[in-house]
Amino acid sequence: MFKVTPNPPDTDPASPYEPDSKKLNEAAECALNFHFPSNADIKATARKPSKLFAVDPEATAETLAVFLVETLASVDVMVHHLVDHLEGESRYALLGISNSIMVAEITANRVLDHIEPAA
């Protein structure tokens, strides 16, 4: 019995299915530039503040600092509540976050010390 196609079949040396390294590199560069823009591109883009959550532009610095201190204190309490339920590396990581929150809270309190109270 005669076989019509050779085993394996002859292929064209310039197959459209074989990857072209130059085209692949160009596509990879394009994808990387799209997903990871350079610092120059980021800095050149004008910043547009989100309007989803906004702070009252008429709020005083004292009001904002007090809110900041209270928020940091609340977050610290939540973190300490979670720390009680963890062990090992996760616990240590959360305690590190707690220390960072504490430093921010101390800093915000120092800012409050330098703000003249509103009349």
| pLDDT score, position 10 | 62
| pLDDT score, position 28 | 84
Under 8 Å CB-to-CB from 40, ≥6 apart: which residues? none
For the cut 80, the answer to whether the pLDDT of residue 16 exceeds it is no
- Residue 88: C-alpha distances to residues 27, 84, 97, 106 (Å): 44, 11, 15, 27
For the segment 63-115, what is each residue's pLDDT rounded down to a tens digit?
888 999 999 999 999 998 999 898 999 999 999 999 999 999 999 889 888 88
Longest dimension (CA), the chain: 106
For the segment 22-76, what is each residue's pLDDT rounded down to a tens digit?
888 888 888 888 888 777 777 777 777 777 888 888 888 888 889 999 999 999 9
